């Protein structure tokens, strides 16, 4: 019940296209859902986060869509660029503890 | 922008040896964490630390592991007797406080530990 399932494992998108990564969770106590971006040899960096009281959050080219009833959330990267090529992790947390449960990660490659 | 600093970036050790991984969290942060990532796998929570004590630990964090904040700036992870399966990238993280913007967790660049 503590798992966060992420798909796809890898994704190839053409420059300018939309990248979509999906996550699903079981624990309804989760109340904070961040997305992290990780480049090789670096630590995860917070990209965008959402709480379950809103269905969508947008920051620049990055949008989180949240479906509370389905217990799913997704990251959309609009106008994908080669510089977006990285591994993306969804995560979940409850109670503000900072103990993040991460998904398995999605390796995104944006082709020029 | 302030960042979490980890040293060393790479650590090679022999099985059974003790290692200490070092971290300098962001200066006004109050909550500190260690996570690890085995090659090709997801990031996993190890331990959280607040007010000079462990607040939560995972089943991975057994008696071989310990954490310490020896002074006002450093946060360390000690593995007493390393095993082959301890080989992983270890990330230190910190955050300011709970709720709102303070919930943002900032990660260091990691220490790649290789146990031979």
Q: Using a CB cutoff of 8 Å and minimum separation of 24, what contacts does A22-25 make?
A: A22/A72, A22/A73, A22/A74, A23/A72, A23/A73, A23/A74, A23/A75, A23/A90, A23/A92, A23/A103, A24/A70, A24/A71, A24/A72, A25/A71, A25/A72, A25/A73, A25/A92, A25/A101
Query: Which of A99, A100, A101, A107 would you mutate first to test chain B, the one with the most B CBs within 10 A?
Result: A99
Judge: A44–B44 Cβ closer than 8 Å, yes or no. no
The pLDDT, as a whole number, for residue A108 is: 98
- Residue of A7, A10, A43 for testing the chain B interface, max B β-carbons within 10 Å: A43
Chain B residues with CB-CB distance to A32 below 8 A: 103
Cβ separation of B48 and A93 shorter than 8 Å?
Answer: no
Residue-level pLDDT at B97:
79
pLDDT, mean of residues B62-71? 94
The CA-based diameter of chain B, rounded to the nearest angstrom, is 43
pLDDT in tens, A65-110: 999 999 999 999 999 999 999 999 999 988 777 889 999 999 999 9
DSSP state of B5: E
Instruction: Answer whether B88 touches A (CB < 8 Å).
Output: no
Separation CA A67–CA A85 (nearest Å): 26
Mean pLDDT, residues A48-68 taken together: 94
Residue B99 has pLDDT above 70, yes or no: no
């Amino acid at each position: 019940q503590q798992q966060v399932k992420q798909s796809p494992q890898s994704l190839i998108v053409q420059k300018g296209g939309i990248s979509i990564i999906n996550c699903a969770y079981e624990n309804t106590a989760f109340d904070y859902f961040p997305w992290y971006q990780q480049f090789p040899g670096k630590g995860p960096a917070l990209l965008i986060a959402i709480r379950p009281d809103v269905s969508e959050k947008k920051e620049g080219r990055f949008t989180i869509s949240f479906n509370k009833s389905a217990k799913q959330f997704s990251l959309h990267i609009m106008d994908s660029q080669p510089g977006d090529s990285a591994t993306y992790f969804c995560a979940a947390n409850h109670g503000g503890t900072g103990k993040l449960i991460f998904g398995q990660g999605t390796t995104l490659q944006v082709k020029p | 922008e302030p960042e979490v600093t980890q040293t060393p970036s790479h650590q090679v050790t022999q099985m059974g040896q003790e290692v200490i991984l070092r971290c300098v969290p962001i200066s006004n942060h109050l909550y500190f964490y260690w996570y690890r990532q085995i090659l090709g796998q997801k990031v996993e929570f190890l331990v959280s630390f607040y007010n000079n004590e462990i607040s939560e630990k995972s089943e991975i964090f057994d008696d071989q592991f310990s954490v310490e904040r020896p002074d006002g700036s450093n946060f360390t992870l000690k593995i007493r007797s390393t095993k082959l399966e301890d080989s992983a990238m270890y990330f230190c993280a910190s955050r300011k406080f709970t709720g709102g913007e303070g919930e943002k967790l900032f990660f260091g660049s990691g220490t790649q530990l290789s146990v031979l």
